[in-house]
A and B are shown apart, each in its own frame.
Chain A
């Protein structure tokens, strides 16, 4: 069973919000270590909980806004992402899930990171983000 999950988030129908989906497409065609699973997490928000439980390390890949410069990527810890959480709504996403995770995870908490990219990306930037996501998935916190 894979011990690490790379969960790509976003909406592939919305330019700028499709970063995670494009990284997923890129990784799906690549050689992936046996202990790593890749998921297209879409817009599933709180329902991603089941994909997180039981893993040692989880790397989310998503677009970010207002975190770094346009075109740049960033690695945030789970705690940093959780700090963005508001209350639950239909649009509640990763921050809400990570904020609640210590209280609702049915297994030991995994190491969690978000690899995020600011703004719309061209294809080379998507490939670079996919490579960075795999580095984090394999080696952990940079």
Chain B
């Protein structure tokens, strides 16, 4: 006879402000509820402030994605100002945003995801001893190396932004700082060193070799090709996770969303997607379907299961409300995160979604073969810098070659209006929707990547993406749910900006 139980599972070590409740039947998840446990509220802080204040306030809501919030805030104001950015402003903004991605993707993989492999849960795994040596928290040799190396790339933001931390160098019309040639060359040197380190230790091969991996079969051949590729972080992730069967977990709805990101300057050697307009393609893929053009008017946020004042169905962010309503409401409401939906559907966002929307041959083939599992999701994150580094090098070189070209287009005082800024953050689709009235912010709605991925149920009762991804996950020990942790962590949850603005605690790892 089957046994059903409902339990809150201890996932504090995934993210301090996230609680997961699961229903288990015979030690397998049959239902799940994701709860963001603290109120965010910074949208309400912005209402009534000056039109430009989002440029200063929103980068401070997260210590990790501050440049991404700055970019979204600036783009929304660019739209209201109806200004066309100079090419060098586009390049400089893009490079700084990409720095944040390159740092975050490697840190998340090596400092957050891979350390799970070093827990005693895997003591019988044939690669366990090596996992401990490489990824043990606070001690693993790869963890130490990643901290050492990823600190340097951030210097590019400090140099190009003219200030770090709390940079606010993006303004309507461009950027506020014009880097001299010496500083651009310094950035190129930092980036060159980072690329060499990434190729040697993370990929175990050159970027060109990795780019030639175009299918699941290519990936298998690449893994068996030589010791350097097997021993890199990507190779180790594949070997360990496949042996542990992790490619069978964390499927989800199979719907993918990318807002698109990194507009291309008019005169550049970098080629992109979306008819040459962006490096990272925008679009939506419903399960098993083709990529559809992205239309921001189809974004809506539901609050049926969120602790906000009720309204019928979903509301587009331009009509959005953030009215806290912390009621138990017979258990129907269970999260401070709203539930964003695209065309009425929940959608996964992040590095894997970007690759699927863009039609990346490797990841589309992996999706076709194995589905959207946690290993493929993590592989997309760890290898994303390989898709960014060449464009960063090119744009820095183009800026250095055109030192007299402008970085700013003059903008008159902002008129009243509405604008939106959409970017791909490290964790996926981030949007700021802003309305300026009488020179002040009348409405500011932010929809974060983790709101998409970690959303609660919507008006129709549909689960959010990682709630769905947990379904079917086996949990051997409910007090030490390593398997569920893998699933959630593969989305790289960041509740810091999804639900509130306080750093999480540092609850020690139990297992």
Contact = CB atoms under 8 A, between A and B. Distances in A.
Contact of A90 (B115, B166, B494, B508): B494
A103 B144 contact: yes
A85 B501 CA distance: 20
Given A50-B155, A90-B496, A43 B144 contact: no
Contacts of A124: none
Given A12-B60, A47-B154, A89 B148 contact: no
A91 B16 contact: yes
Contacts of B494: 90
A44 B494 CA distance: 14
Interface in A34-56: 39-47, 49-50
Nearest to A16: B502
A77 B165 CA distance: 24
A90 B148 contact: no
Interface in B10-64: 13-17, 42, 45, 57, 60-64
Q: Which of A49, A89, A104 has the most CB of B within 10 A?
A: A89
A78 to B, nearest CB: 15
Nearest to A82: B138
A41 B505 CA distance: 18
Contacts, number: 109
Interface string A1-33: 000000000011110010000000000000000
B154 A43 contact: no
A86 B154 contact: no
A74 interface: no
B165 A40 contact: yes
Contacts of B64: 90
Interface residues of B, number: 43
B16 A88 contact: no
Nearest to A50: B151
A92 B112 CA distance: 11
Given A40-B165, A92-B506, A100-B138, A87 B115 contact: yes
A88 B165 CA distance: 20
**Dominant SS among interface residues on chain B:** loop
B503 A91 contact: yes
A95 B506 contact: yes
A14 B148 CA distance: 31
Contacts of A95: 506
A59 to B, nearest CB: 17
Contacts of B42: 13
Nearest to B506: A86
A45 B166 CA distance: 13
B165 A87 contact: no
A93 interface: yes
A88 B111 contact: yes
B119 to A, nearest CB: 10
Contacts of A70: none
A43 B147 contact: no
A89 B506 contact: yes
**Dominant SS among interface residues on chain A:** loop
Contacts of B60: 11-13, 42-43
Contacts of B144: 100, 103-104
Interface in A50-107: 50, 84-93, 95-96, 99-100, 103-104, 106
B509 interface: yes
A88 B13 CA distance: 9
B506 A84 contact: yes
Contacts of B148: 104, 106
B13 A86 contact: yes
B509 A87 contact: yes
B193 interface: no
B123 interface: no
B506 A90 contact: no
A87 B57 CA distance: 29
Nearest to B503: A91
B317 interface: no
Contacts of A88: 107, 111-112, 115, 137, 143
A77 B307 CA distance: 41
Given A43-B63, A100-B138, A91 B115 contact: no
B405 interface: no
A130 B64 CA distance: 27
B249 interface: no
A45 B13 contact: no
Contact of B63 (A13, A44, A104): A44
B484 interface: no
A100 B45 contact: no
B507 interface: yes
A12 to B, nearest CB: 7
Contacts of A91: 15-17, 496, 503-506
B109 to A, nearest CB: 11
A133 to B, nearest CB: 19
A47 B14 CA distance: 20
Interface string B322-357: 000000000000000000000000000000000000
A42 B112 contact: no
A129 B111 CA distance: 34
Interface string B110-134: 0110010000000000000000000
Interface of B: 13-17, 42, 45, 57, 60-64, 107, 111-112, 115, 137-138, 143-144, 147-148, 151, 154-155, 158, 165-166, 493-496, 500-509
The 7 closest A-B pairs by CB, nearest first: A91-B504, A43-B63, A86-B506, A87-B137, A88-B111, A91-B503, A86-B508
26 contacts: A11-B502, A13-B57, A13-B61, A14-B500, A39-B165, A42-B165, A43-B63, A49-B147, A85-B138, A85-B506, A86-B507, A87-B137, A88-B115, A89-B504, A89-B506, A90-B64, A90-B494, A90-B496, A91-B506, A92-B506, A93-B503, A99-B138, A100-B144, A104-B144, A104-B148, A104-B151
Given A86-B505, A91-B496, 4 more contacts: A13-B61, A40-B165, A47-B165, A96-B506
